[in-house]
Amino acid sequence: MAFFVAINVICSFLTTVLPLLSIILIIFLPLTSALVEVMCKDRWFPIYAVATIGLSIVVSLSSIDFTIFYIVPSIFTGYIFGLFCKHNLPNMFAIFLAAIIQTVLSFVFIPLLQLITGTNLIDFIVKILKISNRFWFDSVLLLLFFLVALMQAILSFIVVQNELNKFGQKSECKYNQERIAAFTTLGSALLSAVFSLFYMPLCYLFIGIAYYFAVFTVIFQVQSKNKFCLIADGTSLLIGVVLFAALNQYIKDDVEFSLFAITPGLISVVSICYSFLKKSE
């Protein structure tokens, strides 16, 4: 624990000298926390987290934002990766939870960033991208933050998984991941439909989540060489495009993109029905 705390503190110090180094470190920093979680008892992890955050703040007072925006999320991300690997839980949920936590922390830290630097991050993004429709941008902002966090979590997971394998920690999930992914996809698609009635930011977020788990559903079908479901998935994509084009003219402009939930919903229904029919047979 002390060794990995020292590594994190050194990284915090280096970013004060070489700020561009933070772009690389955000991918590799979760590895230290994951190794601590895997190799130490769970009850000691809070000590490691407090020590890392406290000492990182001390050595990087001139750029405390690195500790806030990189060290803290990497601790949570690494803990989740290590915990799921240790208990052989589905990797897709490890990546998903890491992305959700980073998304939440990003929104929590936005006011803190404005307090430290005097810059409103959202207004800065709008100005840089020259966005004219601010209402639409505010609606998809939650989804955009989630997608960025998801890409970062995927890259970090690849690094962590590769290194944990070298320590003999191989995750072997014993659950039916295809069925779990399909049910989660369907639930996310249904929640997006519900939130489309009164709160579009969460509607778009759950559409993104539905597509994330739909991708895993298709991956598991490819691994099992399930040709029937793969053909049905292609048909579902085609049906989703046709329905979007047909229903688009009858829906208000601010909720028309909620129709994108049709495709992952159909893919999940096909996978669920096939899995139960196969079991019955």
pLDDT-based confidence at 85, cuts 50/70/90? confident
Helices and strands in the chain: count of H runs, count of E runs: 13, 0
% of the chain residues with pLDDT over 90 = 24
Question: Would you give the distance in Å from CA 182 to the centre of its chain?
Answer: 17
Query: For residue 105, how many C-alpha atoms fall within 13 Å in the half-sphere facing its CB?
Result: 20
| Residue whose structure tokens are 């029919």 | 277
Higher local confidence (pLDDT), 227 or 79:
79
Q: pLDDT of 113-162, one tens digit each?
A: 777 767 777 777 777 777 776 677 778 888 999 999 999 999 999 989 88
Q: pLDDT value at position 215?
A: 92
Q: How many whole angstroms separate alpha carbon 77 and alpha carbon 160?
A: 10
Q: Which two structure tokens, joined as six digits, stand for 12?
A: 């915090």
Of 28-37, 229-238, 261-270, 272-281, the poorest mean pLDDT is in 272-281
Q: pLDDT of 160-174, one tens digit each?
A: 988 888 877 776 777
Instruction: Among 9-13, 44-48, 167-171, 239-243, name the most confident range.
Output: 44-48
| For residues 68-84, average pLDDT | 87
Return the amino acid letter for 178: E
pLDDT-based confidence at 63, cuts 50/70/90? low
Q: pLDDT value at position 174?
A: 72
Q: pLDDT value at position 253?
A: 62
Q: Is residue 79 pLDDT above 80, yes or no?
A: yes
The C-alpha angle with vertex 77 and arms to 97 and 34, in degrees rounded to 5, equals 125
Q: How many whole angstroms separate alpha carbon 27 and alpha carbon 151?
A: 10
Q: Is residue 107 pLDDT above 70, yes or no?
A: yes
Q: Which two structure tokens, joined as six digits, stand for 199?
A: 């709160």
Q: pLDDT value at position 100?
A: 94
pLDDT-based confidence at 271, cuts 50/70/90? confident
Q: pLDDT of 163-220, one tens digit each?
A: 888 877 776 777 778 889 999 999 999 999 899 888 888 999 999 999 999 999 988 8
At residue 55, what are phi and psi to the nearest 5 degrees?
Answer: -70, -35
Q: pLDDT value at position 205?
A: 92
Q: What is the mean pLDDT of the chain?
A: 83
Q: Which residues, at least 6 apart from 115, have a Cβ–Cβ distance to it below 8 Å?
A: none
Return the amino acid letter for 87: H
Q: Are 183 and 272 in contact (CB under 8 A)?
A: yes
| For residues 52-73, average pLDDT | 78
Minimal CA–CA distance to 189: which of 227, 240, 231, 225?
240
